[in-house]
A and B are shown apart, each in its own frame.
Chain A
């Protein structure tokens, strides 16, 4: 194994693929023109596949941008949704925008302690071993569970009378089970896996001598974690949280099932602040769905405008992840070598 894996001697003839970046030697290059037909077809297919995926992505962004710019008016962002049969009278999406922000905040606030604690416990303690494996595989299972199943599980849980304070009780005595708190709690399950994975990878990459230095100064494990390890993986945590946020703002299933079908924020109860959280509403994704032909609104222009805003958020979050990764790599004196995609 290891002998195969060692680098070839410097003088060996390296042959790169045409235009390839791996081989940089001066050996004789074989031209694709001399290849067999089958190989030339595969070569062409690989180029076509790669380029056309990019074109699809570009087409989506350009099309949504075009539609968004032609339908988006500042008034839409700052006005509340109204019930109306026509697209002109149905107001804007201020409430769904607020809803998206609320869900993101609740989801991340719940996911952060959970994700950090599990990542720290797994990498720094992880005893007994079987329990650590249980936790690890549970998070993997959460990551693989479809969000529609998470949503419907949340509905079953929050309809228990135990959780009545989180939504409200209908006249018949049944608990409604749909509220920002319920939806946000389930959103935290979406944000958990990327947050956990990023933090764990960061902690595993911290060199052991940093821990040993802290122990040598007489610090306990938990002080080392708080004062040395967590500060040094801040950027990993930020990356994980950003990935989590982009999963939260993109989730439609949880919003549809756990937030009722009102477009405006409807508060429940009389305690200011809490009443909104206990109440129902919508998010940008829910608004898009509702206004598309699949929902009931039938206001595609509003759906396009909201989708454009959502796509801009997603693009910004993507850029943020890139930025954090690059800044981190710079500060550590490394070149940015992450997962390819």
Chain B
């Protein structure tokens, strides 16, 4: 038996074996869509696509679902989850916008400005930021940043201005966005740095020869050349931001609320809930059929946005191929 294993396989059998094993990943993806969609189906059956809209009292609906036992009546499945979608869009848009500015600036710093000795320190530090587990970010957020914001940044005026609607504790939009930005910036820096390095230096040198100062040459020529990479970085970073669950669940205040920009500064302190953090919040009620279906519906929406974002990331990276030939 062992002897047979040791003799080399015929090539065609090896090829088929390896191919079959590789295809397993594809099977997993299909299974993921099928399983999640099947479990989410009751929500779509009773609400259509309008569960993604607003106009309901989300927390009351969830409580009703949680209380219902097996074979709940159709009314229990009523769901309007716009606050979650709004929270997801809000946090990831702000974080990606902030992260884009920071990562473009720091990529220029790493590739063009930093002396070699400094660069040797900066790169591992930023790589470290990327590998800190999200639960540690969440821990710092909930034990350090949220109390700081709650005690020192929120003024009585802001507390009173919204006290009839929501309690401001410190955990909320501001802390969430700050930590999320720190978490996604390293991803963008990695992609932007790679692109900056792939632009031929002679392009920038040509601009300098025409009289631009060196920084302006970088901004006008190099940065312009890597625009697709910047967009791709933003897309990948937003995939990460949309899917972040644990950290946001820990620092976002644990209340379904849609922060309103009209509230002025209080806007940044208002709690929120995202699709991913709602899954963490409600996963214990997953055995109740209605709530389980709702949680799987959130997961399905996340899954589709992940698909969409990876396709978008692939498409925007296509124009970059023209630099790849240079090696």
Contact = CB atoms under 8 A, between A and B. Distances in A.
Interface of A: 1, 4-8, 12-23, 30, 32, 34-35, 39, 42-43, 45-51, 53-54, 56-58, 60-61, 63-64, 113-114, 117-118, 120-122, 125, 127, 131, 134-135, 137-150, 152-153, 155-157, 174, 189, 192, 220-223, 225-226, 246, 249-253, 256-257, 261, 285, 288-289, 292-294, 300, 303-304, 307, 310-311, 314-315, 317-318, 322, 339-341
A257 B106 contact: no
A146 B243 contact: yes
Interface of B: 8-11, 14-15, 17-19, 21-26, 28-29, 31-32, 35-36, 38-39, 101-102, 105-106, 108-116, 119, 121-136, 138-140, 142-144, 182, 185-186, 189-190, 193-194, 197, 200-203, 205, 208-209, 213-216, 218-219, 236, 239, 242-246, 249-250, 254, 276, 279-280, 283-284, 286-287, 295-296, 299, 302-303, 306-307, 309-310, 313-314, 322, 325-326
B216 A341 contact: no
Contacts of A139: 25
Of A57, A250, A288, most buried by chain B (CB within 10 Å of CB) is A57
Contacts of B215: 17, 32, 35, 39, 42-43
Contacts of B113: 17-20, 43, 46-47, 50
Contact of B299 (A19, A153, A189): A153
A20 B143 CA distance: 40
Given A114-B24, A222-B11, A54 B125 contact: yes
A289 B125 contact: no
A142 B29 contact: yes
A152 B126 contact: no
B280 A1 contact: no
Contact of B128 (A57, A147, A292, A304): A57
Given A57-B128, A341-B189, A221 B136 contact: no
Contacts of A144: 236, 239, 306-307, 309-310, 313
B106 A46 contact: yes
Given A47-B113, A252-B135, A341 B299 contact: no
Nearest to A176: B287
Given A1-B322, A8-B202, A144-B310, 5 more contacts: A20-B214, A54-B122, A60-B140, A121-B21, A140-B310
B139 A250 contact: no
A53 B185 contact: yes
Of B24, B131, B189, most buried by chain A (CB within 10 Å of CB) is B131
B326 A53 contact: no
A141 B307 contact: yes
Contacts of A8: 202, 205
B237 to A, nearest CB: 11
A138 B29 contact: yes
A22 B213 contact: no
B218 to A, nearest CB: 7
B202 A6 contact: yes
Contact of B136 (A47, A114, A307, A341): A307
A300 B147 CA distance: 13
B214 A5 contact: no
Contact of A252 (B105, B131, B134): B134
